[in-house]
Structure 1
Amino acid sequence: MTEIMENLSVDGISGAEIKCRCGKMHKNQIKEIIIERGALAKIPDIIKKHGGSNVYVIADRNTYAAAGETVCKNIERYNLPYSLYVFDSERIEPDELAVGKAIMHYDGKCDFIVGIGSGTINDIGKMVACITGKPYMIVATAPSMDGYASATSSMIRDGIKVSLGTVCPCVIVADTEVLCNAPKILLQAGIGDMLAKYISICEWRLSHLITGEYYCEEIASMVRNALKNCMQIESLEFTEPDDIKPVIEGLIISGIAMSFAGLSRPASGMEHYFSHLWDMRAIEFNTPSALHGIQCGVATVLCLRVYEFIARLVPDRKKACDFVNSFSLKEWNRFLAGFLGRSAEGLIELERKERKYNPESHAKRLDIIVNNWDEIVKIISEELPPAEQVEKYMKKLGMPTMPKELGFSDGEVQGAFLATKDIRDKYIGSRLLWDLGLLDEAKHVCRSVW
């Protein structure tokens, strides 16, 4: 496994299938990853190598200018037939309309799909590949998110943000010269998405201890190593294009880690749910929102402060039980409906299946929490840096660190914090605080200005 981890930090990797010490067979469906200066010139050969003879290229205005035009010219020189669809909107939402447009412009003769872009284009491209059954390659234009290597798409369906199973790209191409020229805010978003891994790995370990959830130390180490390499970046003004490699490699490795684990645990936790909730409110109420990675970076600082609060606690069994016994699910659902609008129903339905608020389930978790409190605090101290340290690093890169900078009020921040425990069937920091009966007391940590 160690050798594979080392291979994952270099420019190319073949599909991997590893028997791990955790007992699972880890699989990676990506056949090739190219991360180097001048990689766009290799794309026609890569397409042919992986069986493509007629190409469908998807881009938006910005990504076409950044790399799409060059890719198309290179394809033409190789006399490969292709069709091109460039979204004409300034802002594209990954929704039914966008997927419909991409499908409506798809030529049935095409046998290979190429997405040119990052988050939204990649999500749409994977949807099109899933629908058509054709192999898919993503040409990265910015190191802005960790979804390049995942087999899911973050979409808006019926006005609600959802994660849908799609396909994993068979090839990822990242030309470092293109990545370095990406808008600085996209570079910052990539750093923010990587910073989130501090929280995700910590919460994965905590959940393993408290709920018995599957955990793989090898995968966790892989993500930690990628994060460590990424945090060596001291400036977003790159003197050499290849200096950006640690960021894009870290983001791709995070996606591969999710594939190996078969779940999103290695790469997302409470901090991602802040971002999802802010996005959901933006869709419903037209409130502010920012790039996913930017929101994740700000939320990571919030989560680090929450965990600093948790680490200072001493569990009080009676207080926890009194809180749970007085908890009103009906009142909580009413809050969710007011805070999220239509999308609250999905969270309410999840609880009907999950029953995390069930007193008997709570009692079992509370026993484990109280009996293992020293180990919980140890995990937090081992995995998480001080919030102040991360905030200082982000400021050095010109990144926002406070919710207020993104336009969020204290109410939006604290409401999102309370609701993070309901987004997915995943044990995270806000669930731990609910189990302790201290969720309301902790929300004062989450505010727009410190």
Structure 2
Amino acid sequence: MECILKIEKNCWNRLDEYFSSIVLLHGKVLYVSDENIDHLFGHRIKPILKKYANLKEQFVDNNTIEYAMDIAERVIATDIQFIVGLGGGKVLDICKYAAYVSKTKFISIPTIVSNDGIASPIAVLKRQDGKPKSLGCAIPYALFVDLEVIMKSPIKYIKAGIGDTLSNYTALYDWKLAVKAKKETMKDLAYLMSSTALDTLLNCRFTQMDYPFIKSLVQSLVLSGIAMDFAGTSRPCSGAEHLFSHALDYYSKQTNLHGLQVALGSIVMAKLQNRKYDFLLTYLKNFDVQINPKILNITKEDFILCMNKAKSLRPDKYTILDEVTLNDALLSSIYDELCEEL
């Protein structure tokens, strides 16, 4: 695994220096973004790329598997050497998967940090029926995160990033359960990385979203992504709380940002795991991360349905849902508790 990683304030101001050190950049480069992001930030990235490469451009308008494969085909057919993605999760996941399929290096330049996908070996793309599908791929060859840009991004994405990191709490417990049940093997280094990502965020003394906090958040999200790469599986950062989120994506009338859904899922699963979670509530409230199901427009009916469906989405993934018996009365009670506590 190799990854050039820069997480700095005004990082983009040094892209000329960084790109000049990537010797293979000379040649053909495919720049991928969407029109809105390109309008806001493209003028800061493209002139530097043109200095070092023969630049081609692609503006995305959807995030389907078919579309990512089309880009991969273009990359192969035109001998593209690098894919440079600028934008949020939709753009970066398309680039990540297209680069993986075409065996091309991917340079990631995120404009938001709403989940650990910025550095994970997983791309979430849509199937033909519009439902999301998680696909294995590779982590970026280079990742350039400008903290100034992230600070100015919509705050809802930063809050979602907090939620996604905190979900490591129940994911790691589920991994231990799976190992104990002889359904999985433990990868100690990957476990340590995910645990460190969680602790980095929980133990930081920041009470507001200033630069030191944003840097800690980005580092935690990157570390979580790399943990999955080391493990060769999503287990370090994905347990029953992610199954619940996937069920919301599939069955609920209302979907929300991934990080908010898994944060809600973590509170639910912590209850089922019979573990303390008050510190998670305190942390979420400190940064005004709203995950009350009523605020997220998740009805009791949808909550019960998605909790009952969650396990079926990945029956091979052993979690706390394999060790508890769910019924509608219990789930109704949990929903009411969530509405009170959150």
Same fold (TM over 0.5): yes
**Is the 8 Å Cα contact of residues 56 and 82 (structure 1) preserved in structure 2?**
yes
The correspondence for 1:60, drawn from 25, 28, 34, is 34
CA drift of 1:73 comes to 2.5
CA drift of 1:79 comes to 4.8
Q: Deviations over 1:369-398 (max 9, x none)?
A: xxxxxxxxxxxxxxx542x33223212212
The corresponding residue for 1:403 is 293
CA drift of 1:139 comes to 0.8
CA drift of 1:275 comes to 1.2
The corresponding residue for 1:114 is 84
Please give the alpha-carbon distance, in whole angstroms, between the structure 2 residues aligned to 1:414 and 1:212: 27
Q: Which amino acid is the alignment partner of residue 39 of structure 1?
A: C
CA drift of 1:225 comes to 1.8
**Is the 8 Å Cα contact of residues 66 and 178 (structure 1) preserved in structure 2?**
no
Please tell me whether residue 37 in structure 1 is matched to residue 9 in structure 2. yes
Please give the alpha-carbon distance, in whole angstroms, between the structure 2 residues aligned to 1:66 and 1:391: 35
The correspondence for 2:49, drawn from 58, 70, 75, is 75
**Is the 8 Å Cα contact of residues 273 and 420 (structure 1) preserved in structure 2?**
yes
Q: Deviations over 1:275-330 (max 9, x none)?
A: 11111125xxxx2111111211222222222223xxxxxxxxxxxxxxxxxxxxxx
The corresponding residue for 1:190 is 161
CA drift of 1:38 comes to 2.4
The corresponding residue for 1:245 is 215
3-state SS of 1:223 partner: helix
The correspondence for 1:302, drawn from 242, 252, 268, is 268
Please give the alpha-carbon distance, in whole angstroms, between the structure 1 residues aligned to 2:256 and 2:240: 17
Please give the alpha-carbon distance, in whole angstroms, between the structure 1 residues aligned to 2:303 and 2:71: 35
Please give the alpha-carbon distance, in whole angstroms, between the structure 1 residues aligned to 2:114 and 2:153: 9
Please give the alpha-carbon distance, in whole angstroms, between the structure 2 residues aligned to 1:119 and 1:204: 26
The correspondence for 2:150, drawn from 163, 172, 179, is 179
Please tell me whether residue 427 in structure 1 is matched to residue 322 in structure 2. no
Q: How large is the Cα RMSD of the aligned pairs?
A: 2.4
Could you say if the C-alpha distance between residues 79 and 114 of structure 1 is closer, same or farther in structure 2, counting changes exceeding 3 Å? closer
The correspondence for 2:255, drawn from 255, 268, 289, is 289
CA drift of 1:217 comes to 3.5
Could you say if the C-alpha distance between residues 108 and 142 of structure 1 is closer, same or farther in structure 2, counting changes exceeding 3 Å? same
The corresponding residue for 2:302 is 412
The corresponding residue for 1:161 is 132
Could you say if the C-alpha distance between residues 134 and 216 of structure 1 is closer, same or farther in structure 2, counting changes exceeding 3 Å? closer
- Please give the residue correspondences for 1:353-364 in structure 2 after superposition, counting only pairs within 5 Å: none
3-state SS of 2:181 partner: helix
Please give the alpha-carbon distance, in whole angstroms, between the structure 2 residues aligned to 1:233 and 1:86: 40
The corresponding residue for 1:150 is 120
Could you say if the C-alpha distance between residues 234 and 302 of structure 1 is closer, same or farther in structure 2, counting changes exceeding 3 Å? farther
CA drift of 1:186 comes to 0.5
**Is the 8 Å Cα contact of residues 111 and 135 (structure 1) preserved in structure 2?**
yes
Please give the alpha-carbon distance, in whole angstroms, between the structure 2 residues aligned to 1:118 and 1:208: 34
Please give the alpha-carbon distance, in whole angstroms, between the structure 1 residues aligned to 2:212 and 2:44: 20
Please give the alpha-carbon distance, in whole angstroms, between the structure 1 residues aligned to 2:124 and 2:236: 17
**Is the 8 Å Cα contact of residues 63 and 116 (structure 1) preserved in structure 2?**
yes
Please give the alpha-carbon distance, in whole angstroms, between the structure 2 residues aligned to 1:50 and 1:204: 40
Could you say if the C-alpha distance between residues 252 and 141 of structure 1 is closer, same or farther in structure 2, counting changes exceeding 3 Å? same
CA drift of 1:246 comes to 1.0
**Is the 8 Å Cα contact of residues 200 and 268 (structure 1) preserved in structure 2?**
yes
CA drift of 1:242 comes to 4.5
**Is the 8 Å Cα contact of residues 199 and 269 (structure 1) preserved in structure 2?**
yes
- Please give the residue correspondences for 1:82-93 in structure 2 after superposition, counting only pairs within 5 Å: 82-87=55-60, 89=61, 92=62
3-state SS of 2:266 partner: helix
Could you say if the C-alpha distance between residues 124 and 212 of structure 1 is closer, same or farther in structure 2, counting changes exceeding 3 Å? closer
Q: Which amino acid is the alignment partner of residue 176 of structure 1?
A: L
Task: State the aligned residue count.
Answer: 332
Could you say if the C-alpha distance between residues 96 and 204 of structure 1 is closer, same or farther in structure 2, counting changes exceeding 3 Å? closer
Please give the alpha-carbon distance, in whole angstroms, between the structure 2 residues aligned to 1:126 and 1:108: 18
Structure 1 vs Structure 2: percent identity of aligned residues? 25
**Is the 8 Å Cα contact of residues 288 and 407 (structure 1) preserved in structure 2?**
yes
CA drift of 1:253 comes to 0.7
CA drift of 1:163 comes to 1.5
The corresponding residue for 2:284 is 394
Could you say if the C-alpha distance between residues 233 and 68 of structure 1 is closer, same or farther in structure 2, counting changes exceeding 3 Å? farther
Please give the alpha-carbon distance, in whole angstroms, between the structure 2 residues aligned to 1:44 and 1:83: 18
- Please give the residue correspondences for 1:212-291 in structure 2 after superposition, counting only pairs within 5 Å: 212-231=183-202, 232=204, 234-238=206-210, 241-281=211-251, 287-291=253-257
Could you say if the C-alpha distance between residues 104 and 260 of structure 1 is closer, same or farther in structure 2, counting changes exceeding 3 Å? closer
3-state SS of 1:290 partner: coil
Could you say if the C-alpha distance between residues 117 and 236 of structure 1 is closer, same or farther in structure 2, counting changes exceeding 3 Å? farther
Please tell me whether residue 444 in structure 1 is matched to residue 332 in structure 2. yes
CA drift of 1:176 comes to 1.2
Please give the alpha-carbon distance, in whole angstroms, between the structure 2 residues aligned to 1:233 and 1:140: 26
**Is the 8 Å Cα contact of residues 58 and 102 (structure 1) preserved in structure 2?**
no
Q: Which runs of 5+ in 2 are unaligned?
A: none
**Is the 8 Å Cα contact of residues 305 and 445 (structure 1) preserved in structure 2?**
no
Q: Which amino acid is the alignment partner of residue 266 of structure 2?
A: T
**Is the 8 Å Cα contact of residues 86 and 92 (structure 2) preserved in structure 1?**
yes
The corresponding residue for 2:171 is 200
